[in-house]
Amino acid sequence: MGKTLVVVESPAKAKTIKKYLGPGYEVLASKGHVKDLPKKMGIDFDKGFQETYEVVPGKEKVLAELKAAAKDADDILLATDPDREGEAIAWHLAEELTGKPLEAKRVEFHEITKNGVLKGVASPRALDGDLYDAQRARRVLDRIVGYDVSALVWSKLAFGLSAGRVQSVALRLIVDKEREIDAFVPEEYWNVGARLAKLTPKGDKTAVGSDKRHPFATRLSQENGKKIEVTDAETAARVKADLQTAAYRVVKVTTAERKRKPYAPYTTSKLQQDAVNRLAFSAKRTMQVAQGLYEGVDLGKELGTVGLITYMRTDSTRVSPEALEGARQYIATKYGKDAVPKEPNVFKSKKNSQDAHEAVRPTSLDFPPDAVRKHLKDEQFKLYKLIWERFIASQMKDAVFDQTSIDIEAKAPATAYTLRASGRVLKFGGWLDVYGSGDTSSEQQAGGEEADDKVADGTKADEATGEEASLPQLKEGDSLELFAPPGVIAEQKFTQPPARYNEGSLVRELEERGIGRPSTYAEIISKVQARDYVEKVDARSFRPTLLGKMVVDGLLRSELEFMDPTFTSSMEEELDQVEAGKEKRTVLLSRFYKKFREQLDKGKKLKRWNPEPVLMEGEYCDTCGPDGVDEKLRSLPRGELSKRWSKNGWFAGCSNYPKCKATRDMGADGSGAPPPRETDFDCDKCGKKMSIRSGRYGEFLSCTGYPACKNARPVPLGVPCPKCGGDIIEIRPKKKGGKTFYGCSRYNDETVKCDFKLWMKPIPEPCPDCGALFLVMGGTKAKPMVTCADKECGFKRNFEDLQAGSDAAPPPA
């Protein structure tokens, strides 16, 4: 009797599932997509946008193994990921393995546990043609825009650039935010208040500055019964002088109980946002780690490999009844029955939520983070702990506070002011006992309905404790006095510009605008960074480069509708309609393509997007002309310099181009190249010191004797040559099309020639395992790794967030 073949996407998941299904099943992995559009367009517009799919290069062997296993199987179950991409992979597998997609059996695993796997296998369904059509429509839309708009950017700006349908909209958001910052005009304001304490009775020997008197801070609120905002130094000085001589008296004390509800369990976007803010993970890294937790982690001989979390691509806050009941029982046991609400907490998903999967949660409460920590990598533990605590907290009671607000009259000789103090004391921790410490959650950042309420004077509670500075016991009529230092406070402040997007806040913005879906947020952000259209400030916040601004401005001038965030959001909704079977794929594509082509044709007629050259008056080329350093060009008139732009940045170019090809780097902002940095390296031509300069291809060593000595060479990478002790440098090939490599600085030296060569970039860091002098960059472009230079050693580690590949294919030649 033959076996049942189960095909999943990941080899790690295949191993876990095989353990649960037993000997009657063979579980193999497709390792992602097996078919995709070719490098050329691959779409027949005259035949209903029919695609031409080809086997993904490098997947021939995988597909052959799957076909061989399918021939010997009695039954085939397609168990790819439960989303649009997974449905497309399953459809293509059915085409290749049986040729009968409509007869294929599709199963879904929402969690990789024994119960989840057996439940999925027991409930096969037919392939969902509507779900597949939604993925096809998205892929065709991205291909059309990727080809045609990339070709437009090439022709209008610079060769080799590209643009994508959704990534370009994300880039626009970043550019728009930067222009908000540029246009921001700071406004002056003053924080005015006083530090007070109860009036010391006569004869009381308590020290004037002693904390035993329980001093507390207040903030100016009103002047003569009307709200006051101090915006200039003159007013601040007047108020400060009044407060220094005022008599203080408590006029009102208000105490009320306040509650704070728990957050919902994680959706994909909220998980990515919190991982950025709490763990400093990138969105891409978050999804990679979550994928590993979903597919399974080896928990030792007794338990084997176990999937620790549910499927991590979801926009739903829904939780199964079994999981809810399990959480309530766990909370009662761990934190006491008083921590469990009378009824389970239920959270609303967003109105455009697909609700196909549960929220991201632990698959079993038998595996608390600390109990399985020894089996997890550090980043796995951190993310699992975050998911665990969020889920447990979501089913606990509200936190309860006592909120106190005190109004104080400050009576000066000619004016009466009102000062306000607020305090909050945590009475019952509830869910904050699990999740509240160091709260920089997505909801807290967003300031939405679930965000903590601000207290009366605008300050916020300490999220780590749920408390503010405590207040003394006061009642109406109590007399107060200034507590020095500092007594009266008057601090000049200025309003701050809006914050730049980081990965977390950009994901939140995309989600709120309806741009992209849970499965695409990380990919969108990776591609925006990969194209050199943005850079990170302080390794965190996105700032658009000049190139990024030019691309956005050019696309907007071309009036391409897909650049409108609202349009992109509506397109996501239309794709949802295709998935729901309420709209045909071809109808959506036809409507988009007709209008897109009209807009694109208009855009092609516009002038180029790059800045026009600007003559640099009074500046001339040192290379050509009668006194130029190049003897061959002295017959030319002296060239004038113009400030020009290329995709590599600003440079000064000679008016005698192309006869004179001399250029001078002018830096990223066009203000002039950075000053050279002198080094201890000696010029091997004239003996003078070398300096580090910036050029169009990066930094290089240049002789300080330039232009008399034009000697230049690459900057050493800080790694000694293991053969001769020279410096390893980057060596660019002399022949066009040759491959850059890393070799000894004596590689081309005729006297002391050294042939040491590396194809991988060396890193000046010894191997922690074998002690080799340096490590190298290895792996693939998609999954870069740092490895030992000694192949026999085997040491390697992840190198996170290198440049990601572009989805947009290059335009046809």
Catalytic residues: 311
CA distance 714 to 717: 9
Q: Hey, CA dihedral for 7, 10, 15, 16, is it positive or negative?
A: negative
Six-digit token pair at 233?
């130094």
User: Exposed, middle or buried by CB within 10 Å (0-12, 13-18, 19+), for 456?
Assistant: middle
Provide the angle, in degrees to the nearest 10, between the axes of the packed helices 129-156 and 565-579: 150
Going through 307-462 in order, the beta strands assigned E by DSSP cover: 399-411, 416-428
Q: What sign for the dihedral angle of Cα 45, 49, 55, 59?
A: positive
Answer whether 168's CB lies under 8 Å from 149's CB: yes
CA distances from 288 to 179, 282, 283, 367 (A): 33, 10, 9, 21
Q: At what angle are helices 321-335 and 378-394 packed, to 10 degrees?
A: 90
| Burial (0-12, 13-18, 19+ Cβ within 10 Å), 256 | exposed
Report the distance separating Cα 765 and Cα 776, nearest Å: 9
Cβ-based burial of 657 (10 A; exposed 0-12, middle 13-18, buried ≥19): middle
Residue 810 neighbours by CB under 8 Å, 6+ apart: 39, 150, 162
Q: How far is CA 89 from CA 18, 33, 115, 538, in A?
A: 20, 5, 24, 39
Cα(587)–Cα(578) distance, rounded to whole angstroms? 10
Separation of alpha carbons 389 and 392, rounded Å: 5
Q: What share of the chain is helix, strand, coil (3-state, %, to 5)?
A: 30, 25, 45
336 contacts 305 by C-beta, under 8 angstroms? no
- Quote the distance between the C-alpha of residue 144 and its chain's center: 26
Which whole-number Å values give the CA distances from 428 to 397, 454, 538, in the listed order?
9, 19, 39
- Which residues touch 445 (CB under 8 Å, ≥6 apart)? 273, 277, 504, 505, 508
C-alpha R_g of the chain = 33
**Contact status, residue 97 vs residue 546, Cβ threshold 8 Å:** no
- Angstrom distance (rounded) from CA 112 to CA 306: 7
Closest CA to 317 of 394, 248, 241: 394
Token pair of 334 as six digits: 């761990």
